[in-house]
């Protein structure tokens, strides 16, 4: 996968896996990474799918309707990319935190649903439930931050509540931060995620 890699200055800080939203690119969330954990290594891939020319991490059949077959394929592709990058850049494979927005948050959620141990934590900005009716792995050691908007037209509050229940039922520690906003990523939400990350990883 095409990507940007930035070396970290603190070997104890987690690696941030930055996953952009629809229409974004591998550089979009680099400023966010600097706010969240400026000393961390950053791995930021470009989604391999195009929708009307806009990069995405997996296909969808319609607004809010995922192509599950492609989602599974692309989730495996991303997992293998993380493994290969960890070896190439000599990253601690047990210290990778996904930071995803919208479509990027959805594939990060799919990683949690399907590949135990691939992430040590996740920051999901405006995610949806990636799949339903599947058994989740044990996530008892995986803290998750969810940023959500009360007026989000794409990801309804009920979707956020359902994702929280599913993750918690698998043992994950989930913190949900609500904004009285829509689908956009607000400064207050970013700052809340930064505080959560500092509390979760004392080295950040």
CATH value at residue 80:
3.40.50.1820
> What was the pLDDT predicted at 152?
95
> Known catalytic residues?
102, 152, 183
Q: What is the mean pLDDT of residues 81-90?
A: 97
Predicted confidence at residue 62, as pLDDT, reads: 85
Task: State which residues form the domain around 14.
Answer: 3-200
Residue 2 reports pLDDT greater than 80: yes
Mean pLDDT score across all residues of the chain:
95
For the stretch 117-160, pLDDT in tens is 999 999 999 999 999 999 999 999 999 999 999 999 999 999 99
Share of the chain above pLDDT 70, in %: 99
Mean pLDDT of 84-103: 97
**pLDDT confidence tier of residue 204, bands split at 50, 70 and 90:** low
User: What's the confidence (pLDDT) of residue 57?
Assistant: 98
Cα 72 from Cα 167, distance rounded (Å):
18
Q: Which residue has the tokens 């904004």?
A: 179
Return the C-alpha torsion angle 56, 22, 180, 109, nearest 10: 0
200 CB-near residues (< 8 Å, 6+ apart): 121, 143
Q: How many structural domains comprise the chain?
A: 1
């Amino acid at each position: 996968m095409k990507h940007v890699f930035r070396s970290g200055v603190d070997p104890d800080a987690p690696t941030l896996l930055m996953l952009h939203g629809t229409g974004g690119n591998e550089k979009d969330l680099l400023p966010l990474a600097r706010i969240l954990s400026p000393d961390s290594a950053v791995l930021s891939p470009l989604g391999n799918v195009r929708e009307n020319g806009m990069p995405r991490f997996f296909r969808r059949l319609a607004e809010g309707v995922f192509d599950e077959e492609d989602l599974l394929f692309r989730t495996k592709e991303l997992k293998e990319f993380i493994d290969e990058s960890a070896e190439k850049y000599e990253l601690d494979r047990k210290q990778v935190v996904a930071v995803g927005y919208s479509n990027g948050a959805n594939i990060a959620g799919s990683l949690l649903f399907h590949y135990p141990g691939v992430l040590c934590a996740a920051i999901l900005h405006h995610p949806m439930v990636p799949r339903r009716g599947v058994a989740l792995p044990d996530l008892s050691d995986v803290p998750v931050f969810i940023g959500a908007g009360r007026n989000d037209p794409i990801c309804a509050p009920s979707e956020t509540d359902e994702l929280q229940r599913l993750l918690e039922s698998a043992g994950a520690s989930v913190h949900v931060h609500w904004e009285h906003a829509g689908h956009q990523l607000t400064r207050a939400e970013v700052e809340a995620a930064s505080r959560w990350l500092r509390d979760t990883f004392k080295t950040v």
